[in-house]
Amino acid sequence: MAALRRLRQMLCVLPLAALAACNGGIERGDKIEYLLMIDKSSTTPVALPVNADFQSYLCLRQQLGIIAVFSRNGSVDYSERPGTIWSSDNENVVHVSNGDDIIPSIDPTVPARYYPKGTIKPIAPGFATITADYVGIKTSVTVHVQSPSSIILSTSPFDASSNASTAPPLSIATGSTQQYYAYATLPNAGGQANVSAIKDVTGNATWSLLEDPDKTFASITNPALGTLSGGGLVTGISPVGPLTVNAHFTACEGTSFGDVDVTSKVQVSDVSSIKVSHDQAFIDIANPGYVPPAPPAVPNPPNPPLPLVIGTNEAFRAIATLRNGDTQDLSYQATFTTKTGNSGILSAFVGNLATALTLGTTQVTATFAGIDSNPAVTVQTQNATLNNFKIAAADKNQSIPAGGFRKYHVQGTYIAASGGGSFVQDMTYSAVWASSNPAIVAIGNAGMLVGVAISQNTNQDCVTISATSASQNPDGSKNDSTILGVAGPVVSGCEN
């Protein structure tokens, strides 16, 4: 019985999001059996073993928390309870907040805000023990502080090697947004020698536009109150020449690492025109051997893509030409619609993605800031039966650099309902993607991350990437997989 009770308690602790279902009110006479330390730095909190070694890096705050596990009635987050006291046994290496550390602000009119209890600030390389004490019940972790190898800015949610600081100024449309990301390369990740990880540290920075503090021409967001997430989102307000996007890492101040700012350039211009195009993979299949202009130009292929199979998806592109002559991909910001009278042929758009619903022909347009795309793009639909489902041959048994990425595609071979002919359609956006080990390589299923495999660390490894048809496949039998190597070639059995 005791074993079952302990199992129930642990299931309530992991994941943290399930806590609400486990509390149910503390019963009279129930007592705390033990405290469990957790890492709350990411969107999914992770439980830490007692006296675990916890990796920390200069310039990067992290948030620890504790879960009180009760003898009979589940568990509760006690991280910020009044009776919880946090301490560091070596303040020269790590400082830990007790809810009294002020969050730096670039706006002096904003009332003082404070980091939550358990937020740690690394001071210098070395070791320190962090202890949480709730009325005499304690739990601890050993924090190992190191210096990050680098911190850069990027405008990509997956390309952590593309340094926006060394790129020409990026143009965005008035009224549009551009997300900036900060990526840190962290050595000896997870305590493993010679293994580096790429970490999104956008939420560790205080963001500003140096030449425009009054937000006349553009604005930029900062992390949500009391958190280490968010920030870096630039919104264009009025046309202007280059502004400096500044990411200031306040956790660097007063440490052995120094005072760190990372910058890039952005400029704002009005939209001149917008063009819509089909998904590039659909175009390529309809035009074998066709090589389109380099992105983000909109290609004009000699033949239209094949009709879209009912039940499958297509992602459309909307490219804006700005008045300063630059272009911006607004595929995830423009509003896509089908022309009146034909709206039932495609589903309502989710971002730039639509599903074929019924037989027919329609036109797709995109609108941004009151400007409509011209001309409209024609979409035909058809009925067909999925016969074969394969990851594209060019994506089989590939490798990516350490910390790199690869865009995957999958193709379906169909038998047309009309005429019975066989044809191939891109199904990248009609598949469910998975990685055998997301801690090594993650792969996306939404927005611009669909089918994009992203290396999570910089050691040599490999995983299995799989795709399963999300339509016309009720038994899940239409699927395929391949091996992806990281920082080295694919060899037999490496994914095991």
**Residue 236, CA distances (Å) to 210, 437, 472 in order:** 15, 38, 42
Tokens describing residue 139: 């739990």
Chain mean pLDDT for the chain: 85
Burial status of residue 460 (CB atoms within 10 A of its CB: 0-12, 13-18, 19 or more): middle
CATH architecture group of domain 385-486: Sandwich (2.60)
pLDDT in tens, 231-282: 999 999 999 999 999 999 988 888 877 788 999 999 999 999 999 998 877 6
What pLDDT does residue 488 have?
A: 78
Q: Which residues have CB under 8 Å from 272's CB, separation 6+? A: 320, 321, 322, 323
pLDDT in tens, 442-465: 999 998 899 999 988 777 888 999
Tell which residue, 488, 109, 178, 154, has the closest CA to residue 322: 178
Q: How far is Cα 350 from Cα 344, in angstroms, rounded to an integer?
A: 15
What percentage of residues in the chain have a pLDDT greater than 70? 86
150-269: CATH, from 3.40.50.300, 2.40.160.50, 3.50.50.60, 2.60.40.1080: 2.60.40.1080
The H-or-E segment that residue 5 falls in is: helix 2-13
Angle made by CA atoms 60, 65, 71, in degrees to the nearest 5: 160
Q: How far is Cα 492 from Cα 263, in angstroms, rounded to an integer?
A: 43
272-382: CATH, from 2.40.10, 1.10.1220, 3.30.1330, 2.60.40: 2.60.40
What pLDDT does residue 6 have?
A: 35
Matching fold, domains 150-269 and 385-486:
yes
Task: Tell me the domain boundaries of the chain.
Answer: 2-146, 150-269, 272-382, 385-486
Please name every residue paired with 442 in a beta bridge, in sequence order, or none if there are none: 454
Q: How far is Cα 218 from Cα 264, in angstroms, rounded to an integer?
A: 14
Predicted confidence band at 226 (pLDDT cuts at 50, 70, 90)?
low
Please name every residue paired with 273 in a beta bridge, in sequence order, or none if there are none: 321
Omega cis (within 30) before 168? no
> What topology does CATH give the domain 2-146?
Immunoglobulin-like (2.60.40)
Q: How far is Cα 278 from Cα 293, in angstroms, rounded to an integer?
A: 14
Q: What is the pTM of this model?
A: 0.82
Q: How far is Cα 149 from Cα 160, in angstroms, rounded to an integer?
A: 13
